[in-house]
Amino acid sequence: MTYVPHSDADWSAMLAAVGAGSVEDLFRDIPHSLRETAVANLPEPLTEPELLAHMRGLARKNDSVEDLICFAGGGLYDRFIPSIVADVVGRPEFLTGYTQYQPEASQGMLQALFEYQSMICELTAMPMANASLYDGASALGEAILLAAGETQRRRALVSRALAPAARHVAQTYCSAMGIEIVEVPYVAGSGETDLDALRAAVDDEVCCVALQQPNYFGVLEDMEGAAGLAHDAGALFVAQVEPISLGILRPPGAYGADIAIGEGQPLGLPMGYGGPLLGLFACRQEVMRRVPGRIVGQTVDVAGNLAYCLTLQAREQHIRREKATSNICTSESLCALAAAVYLAALGPVGLREVAEQSARKAHYLADRLRESGVARVRLAAPFLSEFVLDTGAPGEEAVARLAERGYLVGPALGRAYPELANCVLVAVTEQRTREELDGLVGVLAS
C-alpha cells in the first residue's frame, strides 16, 4: 500500500510503547527555541486531493521530457505498457526491497522467473535462457567472456554498427581479462556491417563475432552470412537483438546464433531516464554451464510436487572463484517479471502487431521526409522502425532545437560516429500517431 494512515488509537499505542505521554514528549530533548524555528511559516494543512493538486502545480514548473513527443531511440524506446504490468509487479508478493535469493526466494517468484526464461527461449528460438542480467550492454560483455572461455581464444570481432555503449562496456569487461576486441567497420553508404572486412578479419584466433539486429542505425543486417563466417573459423556467433523486432524478424536460433543477447527495456519497462534496464541472455545447450548469473530450473520435491529452484550457478558466491565463469551476483528479477507479464499480455499476435505498427509508421515518416526534402534519410539499406536522419546541422544542436519545439529525437551520432556529425537517430514506436509524425515533418520544414 502506498499510504497507511494511523488512527488515534494507533498513536496512543505507539506512544505507550515508548513511554511517552504525547507527541510533544518525543521531542522534549530538543530546545523549544529550535522547535519554533524549525516549523516556522508552515501553511495550513491541506486535504489529500488539495495536496496532490498543489504538488502537480509545482511539478508543472519543471521542464519535463514527458511533455515531449518521443522519437528517441538508440536502444531505449517509448513503448506502450499495459496497466496489468504495473499491477502485477507492484504486488507485495513480488515488490521487495531486496533481491530474492535462494533459499529466501519464494516458489512464486521462482516460477515467474522460470516462465520469463521460457518466454525468452521462445522469443529467440534458443534452447535455454538465464534469469536476466543487468542490461544489454553487460550481456555483450558476458557473451564475449563465455565465448573466450569456450573456445580458449582471446580475440573478439564486434561490429562498429553495434550500440556504442555496449561496445564500451564490453571493452571494459575484456580489457581486464586479456581479451582483445577488434571493431569491424560498416559500409558508409548503407550502414550494414562490412562482411568483406569481417571475412578478412576472422581467423582461428577469434573467439566470437558479434552483430546487432537491427543494428544501432536501425539497419537490417545479414545475420546468417555473418554467422556462417564465424562458424567457418570455429568462432561463436553472438546476436544482439531488439526484442520487439522478433515479432516479425527471424529469431537468432533460426540463423545459427550461439548466443542471443539484448536490451529488454522495450518489454514492459519505462524509459526511466535510462534505467533500470534488463539484460536478455539466451544460448545453445552446449555452452549452458558457462552461462553467467542464475538459471531457474523446474523439478519435483521429495513428495513429488512440482517445485522450482536455482540451478547451475557458476558464479563466485557459490563455487571457487577460479572456477567461476562470471562475477555477476544477481539479476533484474523485478524487471524480468515485468517483461514476462508484458509478453503474456500481448501474446504472439500482439507482439507482431506492435512490431508491424512501428515499422509501418517509421516508413511513413521516412517517406514523408523524403518527399518534403526537409531532411535526408542518410543510409540506403533497409531499416525496420528506426533510421538515421541527416538534419544538415550539428546533431546536438538539432536535438536541442527540436526539443524546444516539443519533439524529442536522438541521440545525436557525432560523439560516437564523427563521420555522422550532422545526424540523429529517429525511432518510431506504436505509440506515435499520424498527427505526431506529420508534426515532426512540419517542424523540420520550419
Q: What are 34's three cell numbers?
A: 529550535
| Virtual torsion, Cα 368, 428, 377, 420, nearest 10 deg | 150
**Alpha carbon separation from 215 to 33, 159, 240 (Å, rounded):** 64, 9, 8
26 close to 20: Cβ distance less than 8 angstroms: yes
How far apart are alpha carbons 170 and 145 in whole angstroms?
A: 9
* Ramachandran angles phi, psi of 45, nearest 5°: -65, 150
Q: Do domains 65-81+347-445 and 83-342 have the same CATH topology?
A: no
Q: Provide the pLDDT for residue 98.
A: 64
Distance of CA 156 to the CA centre of its chain: 23
Q: What are 96's three cell numbers?
A: 521487495
Helix-strand-coil split of the chain, %, nearest 5: 45, 15, 40
How far apart are alpha carbons 212 and 159 in whole angstroms?
A: 8
272 close to 188: Cβ distance less than 8 angstroms: no
Q: Provide the pLDDT for residue 1.
A: 43
Q: Provide the pLDDT for residue 148.
A: 96
222 close to 213: Cβ distance less than 8 angstroms: no
Q: Is 200 helix (H, G, I), strand (E, B) or coil?
A: helix
The answer to whether the peptide bond before residue 243 is cis (omega within 30 degrees of 0) is no
112 close to 337: Cβ distance less than 8 angstroms: yes
Q: Provide the pLDDT for residue 69.
A: 94
Q: Provide the pLDDT for residue 145.
A: 95
Strand partners, 212: 240
Q: Where are the domains of the chain?
A: 65-81+347-445, 83-342
427 close to 216: Cβ distance less than 8 angstroms: no
pLDDT, one tens digit per residue, over 157-182 is 999 999 999 999 999 999 989 999 99
How far apart are alpha carbons 396 and 404 in whole angstroms?
A: 13
Q: What pTM value is reported for the model?
A: 0.85
Assigned fold of 83-342: Aspartate Aminotransferase; domain 2 (3.40.640)
Q: What is the CATH number of domain 65-81+347-445?
A: 3.90.1150.10
297 close to 311: Cβ distance less than 8 angstroms: yes
Q: Provide the pLDDT for residue 332.
A: 87
How far apart are alpha carbons 410 and 424 in whole angstroms?
A: 5
Which ranges of the chain have pLDDT less than 50? Answer: 1
How far apart are alpha carbons 116 and 120 in whole angstroms?
A: 6
